[in-house]
């Protein structure tokens, strides 16, 4: 039994951090071991990133995909701080916050996700929009509104990266802008969606074709000026006029993590063991995009991707293992169950594969929506959004 009250500090309120906090608050605590649970995030809302595209097209409202922490945590014993974490001081077991001073902890959970990287390409930082969080989605929405208002013949959009985000964004924007849109994906590999299931790739290629999206494969961006990008195709530089450049590739870890005196993977994430603890300190857990499982013999854990699906599954284990540590019970090694993948490929169109099922079109779109509804963090939010979908005239009814 511990004598003093445990203080669990969870850094980051995304898929890893928020769901760990919620699970921890639901576990059965005895009076004498009940810890203080603190969740810290710089934002006031949890962002459900897989549905960020729907906010840009207006299919969903921001309160649906980014509910405020105050609402999600109101019936729990979790203390939420909206603040920027400026330092993690492992020597003094302390977190430094920009507004609220220092916080001590006895257990630490690091779930700070990643940040976009521009690969130091000339003009990118100044002239491109990223697509990672709510602010990025709002910026994109405003920019599209301005471009549409200025009424050019064509709105020319270049999307860097033919991964999931690039392809999903291209399909949504192409459909939203219709004949006015001129959308191209610039991908340095020889195919799009190199990590995707082949069924989903095939459906995505068809969706892009049907929506008139151009694909520039084996092409890289060399530099960007205000209304032009210079593309490098096998050494030949080609200038292309653009109204909007969207950057969807590359991710790096938070600078807070980079310099921590802990073991790191070569791409910067914290190395963790099967119990999701960092290698040097059993009181510190890390999960989601800011962590990397140390080389393991468990095949289910080889090359697990940085996805919400992984972070959500890790959150259950992380909460349980913290509970087990405090209650002196055995810890559970993390097992990953790949449940498949889903992609939105336009308005009312999606593809989905996993657990032996393959779907596309409208039915896949509806199934994807229902799965995400089920994945929302609290039943109150599920109910509010579910009711909103029922009473709001869905776009599907206009088909």
Is residue 171 near ligand FAD by the rule CB under 6 A? no
3-state SS record for 88-146: EECCCCEEEECCCEEEECCEEEECCCEEECCCCCCCHHHHCEECCCHHHHHHHHHHHHH
The stretches of the chain forming alpha helices (DSSP H) are 15-26, 52-57, 62-65, 69-72, 124-127, 134-149, 164-177, 198-210, 255-258, 308-326, 361-375, 379-391
Closest to 340 measured CA to CA, from 356, 323, 350, 353: 353
Closest to 203 measured CA to CA, from 398, 353, 303, 46: 353
Is residue 256 near ligand FAD by the rule CB under 6 A? yes
Is residue 166 near ligand FAD by the rule CB under 6 A? no
What is the x/- site pattern for ligand FAD, positions 191-230, by CB under 6 A?
A: ----------------------------------------
What is the x/- site pattern for ligand FAD, positions 306-335, by CB under 6 A?
A: xxxx-x------------------------
Give the orientation angle of helix 308-326 with respect to helix 15-26, to 10 degrees.
40
Q: Which of 21, 39, 49, 257 binds ligand FAD (CB under 6 A)?
A: 49
CA 302/CA 127 separation, integer angstroms = 37
Is residue 39 near ligand FAD by the rule CB under 6 A? no
**Phi, psi for 331 (deg, rounded to 5):** -85, 155
The alpha carbon dihedral of 214, 215, 216, 220 has a sign of: positive
Interface with ligand FAD by CB under 6 A: which range of 46-54, 215-223, 325-333, 355-363? 46-54
Q: How far is the CB of 314 from ligand FAD (least distance, A)?
A: 9
CA 379/CA 347 separation, integer angstroms = 26
CA 287/CA 272 separation, integer angstroms = 8
Query: Do the Cβ atoms of 337 and 282 come closer than 8 Å?
Result: no
Instruction: Output 239 or 255, the one with its CB closest to ligand FAD.
Output: 255
Instruction: Output 131 or 323, the one with its CB closest to ligand FAD.
Output: 131
What is the x/- site pattern for ligand FAD, positions 2-31, by CB under 6 A?
A: ----------xxxxxx--------------
Is residue 127 near ligand FAD by the rule CB under 6 A? no
Contacts of 150 (CB under 8 A, 6+ apart): none
Interface with ligand FAD by CB under 6 A: which range of 106-114, 150-158, 275-283, 329-337? 106-114
Instruction: Output 81 or 231, the one with its CB closest to ligand FAD.
Output: 81
Q: How far is the CB of 86 from ligand FAD (least distance, A)?
A: 7
| Three-state DSSP state, 248 | coil
| Three-state DSSP state, 62 | helix
Interface with ligand FAD by CB under 6 A: which range of 42-50, 148-156, 171-179, 227-235? 42-50
Instruction: Output 110 or 231, the one with its CB closest to ligand FAD.
Output: 110
Is residue 254 near ligand FAD by the rule CB under 6 A? yes
Closest residue by beta carbon to ligand FAD: 14
Contact set with ligand FAD (CB under 6 A): 12-17, 40-43, 49-50, 52, 84-85, 111-113, 131-132, 165, 254, 256, 288-290, 306-309, 311
């Amino acid at each position: 039994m511990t004598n003093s009250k445990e203080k669990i500090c969870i850094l980051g309120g995304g898929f890893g951090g928020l769901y760990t906090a919620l699970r921890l608050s639901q576990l059965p605590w005895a009076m004498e071991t009940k810890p203080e649970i603190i969740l810290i995030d710089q934002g006031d809302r949890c962002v459900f990133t897989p549905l960020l595209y729907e906010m840009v097209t207006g299919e969903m409202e921001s309160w649906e995909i980014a509910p405020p922490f105050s609402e999600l945590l109101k019936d729990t014993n979790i203390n939420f701080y909206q603040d920027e974490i400026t330092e993690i001081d492992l020597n003094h077991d302390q977190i430094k916050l920009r507004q609220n001073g220092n916080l001590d902890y006895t257990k630490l959970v690091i779930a700070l996700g990643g940040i976009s990287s521009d690969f130091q390409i000339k003009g990118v930082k100044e002239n491109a929009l990223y697509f990672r969080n709510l602010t990025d989605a709002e910026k994109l929405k405003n920019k599209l509104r301005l471009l549409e208002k200025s009424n050019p013949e064509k709105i020319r959009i270049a999307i860097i990266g033919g991964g999931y985000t690039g392809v999903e964004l291209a399909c949504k924007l192409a459909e939203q802008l219709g004949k006015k849109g001129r959308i191209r994906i610039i991908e340095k590999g020889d195919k799009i969606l190199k990590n995707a299931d082949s069924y989903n790739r095939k459906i995505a290629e068809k969706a892009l074709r049907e929506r008139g999206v151009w694909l520039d494969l084996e092409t890289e961006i060399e530099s960007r000026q205000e209304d032009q990008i210079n593309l490098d195709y096998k050494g030949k530089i080609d200038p292309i006029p653009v109204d909007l450049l969207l950057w969807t590739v590359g991710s790096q870890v938070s600078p807070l993590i980079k310099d921590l005196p802990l073991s790191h993977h070569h791409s910067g994430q914290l190395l963790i063991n099967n119990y999701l603890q960092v290698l040097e300190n059993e009181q510190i857990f890390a999960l989601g995009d800011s962590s990397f499982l140390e080389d393991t013999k468990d095949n289910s854990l080889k090359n697990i991707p940085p996805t919400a699906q992984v972070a959500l599954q890790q959150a259950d284990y992380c909460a349980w293992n913290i509970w087990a540590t405090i209650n002196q019970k055995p810890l559970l090694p993390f097992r990953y169950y790949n449940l498949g993948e889903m992609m939105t490929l336009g308005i009312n169109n999606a593809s989905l594969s996993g657990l032996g099922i393959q779907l596309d079109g409208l039915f896949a779109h509806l199934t994807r929506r229902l799965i995400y509804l089920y994945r929302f963090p609290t039943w109150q939010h599920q109910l509010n959004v579910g009711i909103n979908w029922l009473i709001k005239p869905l776009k599907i009814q206009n088909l």
